[in-house]
Amino acid sequence: MIERFNSSVESNKNNAFEMPIFEIKDVLQDPEIENVIQSMRRDVFKSLGIDDAKSDMVMDQCLKFAKNYDDINEYEQAAHNILESEGVVDAIPEKLIERAEIIHEQIKKYLKDGLVLDFGCGDARLAQLIAKDGNEVQLADVYENPNVAKTGLPFELLEQGKDIPFEDNKFDNTLLLTVFHHSDDPIQLMKETKRVTKPGGRVIVIESVYDVDGKELSEDERKKSEEYLALSPEQQRRVNIFFDHFYNRVIHNSDDPSKKVNVPFNFNTPEEWKKLFDEQDLKQEEVVHLGPDQPTVPEYHTLHVLNVEK
């Protein structure tokens, strides 16, 4: 469920929402942010079977590179090598199955009968679960994950920055699950999403957000995230930048530029996402605060259920 692009993280740039993009080493200059990152990553590593003692050692080594690189690619490769040597990388595939199961439970009640477009399908494990429920599923992504061929589901290879290659009003449901913040042009992608989805059809979005206080979460969920929730909105955004980069460009590091994950860090607040959806006649029927629901990617997620009005 990720977009890939042959670029590196660049400094002195703004994202699609005119928010500054910070180098990872600059994010870590804030000691409050670093403390929260250290706390949150312990849960990440624990979910991957790494105990706290080894986790501390591994992350200290990774952060040493993160704070002192000249070229971001050097940090990405060096930190990836550390994680690979400690078994972190090998533990990820099993967690991707768990991730698909979590998301399936979150979205299945919102799916309408009919054809589903899984835009940014990744390894297509979620699509397999949806297909088992009886829906016809079309896969699409800018990179064909090796697992896609095993699913037997139709797949369309996309081109970065191009229109979605499907006719108007084709799909009853369109899924964009942690996709918008990886797109260089989220607004254009919203327009294309509306175009290929039927009138009255459903668009289901999961996004990584910031400027949240967790009041919508249960007491237990809120307590798990209290350090993150206590940060300012801008600090939360920078923590998201760190973990989005760490998961997509460090853990999933690739020597092949075409397989590097696009990380323009186009995060937004839940309220701003709703405003943008409304402007494209994607009417938000419901928003669900999922919180940091994915053990290996500790970003705060919201689920947006949208109705297409044409």
Give every CB contact of residue 151 below 8 A, 6+ residues apart in sequence: 124, 127, 128, 131, 139
| Cα 30 from chain centre | 24
Q: In terms of domains, do 129 and 277 share one?
A: yes
Q: Return the ∠ at Cα 262 (arms to 92 and 1), rounded to 5°.
A: 50
Q: Cβ neighbours of residue 93 under 8 Å, at least 6 residues apart?
A: none
- Residues 303 and 290: beta-carbon distance below 8 Å: yes
Are 108 and 184 in a shared domain? yes
Does residue 14 lie within any of the structural domains? Answer: no
Residue 277 and residue 168 share a domain: yes
**149 and 222 co-located in one domain:** no
- Give me the CATH number covering residue 145: 3.40.50.150
Mean pLDDT of 209-225: 96
Give whole-number Cα distances, 168 to 43, 130, 177, 194, in Å: 43, 23, 21, 9
pLDDT one-digit tens code per residue, 93-146:
888 889 999 999 999 999 999 999 999 999 999 999 999 999 999 999 999 999
Sorted by sequence, the CB contacts under 8 Å of residue 297 that are 6+ apart come out as 44, 243, 244, 247
- Per cent of the chain over pLDDT 90 is 81
Q: What is the pLDDT of residue 3?
A: 38
| Any domain includes 10 | no
CA angle 175, 267, 49 (to 5 degrees): 80
On whether residue 244 sits in a domain, the answer given is yes
Name the pTM for this structure.
0.94
Give the β-pairing of 13-14 and 136-141.
unpaired
Q: Are residue 127 and residue 194 in the same domain, yes or no?
A: yes
103 & 181 share domain: yes
| Residue 54 resides in a domain | yes
Name the residue among 79, 70, 165 with its Cα closest to residue 117.
165
Shared-domain flag, residues 168 and 24: no
Do 169 and 198 fall within a single domain? yes
What's the rounded Cα separation, in Å, for the pair 90 and 95?
10
Over residues 257-300, the pLDDT tens digits come to: 888 899 999 999 999 999 999 999 999 999 999 999 998 889 99
Q: Does one domain contain both 220 and 205?
A: no
21/11 Cα distance (integer angstroms) = 6
Phi-psi region of 178 (alpha: psi -120 to 50; beta: other; left: phi over 0): left
What burial letters (b/e) apply to 294-305, b meaning 16+ CB within 10 Å? Answer: bbbbbbbbbbbb
* Strand bridging mode 136-141 / 197-208: unpaired
Residue 224 within any structural domain of the chain: yes
114 and 186 co-located in one domain: yes
Domain count, the chain: 2
Distance CA 79, CA 226 (A): 27
Cα–Cα distance for residue pair 40/82, rounded to 1 Å = 19
- d(Cα 165, Cα 210) in Å, to the nearest integer? 32
190 shares a domain with 101? yes
Structural domain span for residue 116: 96-210+267-308
Q: For the chain, what is the mean pLDDT? A: 93
CA-nearest of 205, 202, 204, 193 to 280 is 193
What does the pLDDT average to over 24-50? 93
State residue 2's pLDDT score. Answer: 37
Q: Give the model's pLDDT for residue 95.
A: 81
The whole-number average pLDDT for the span 224-245 is 97
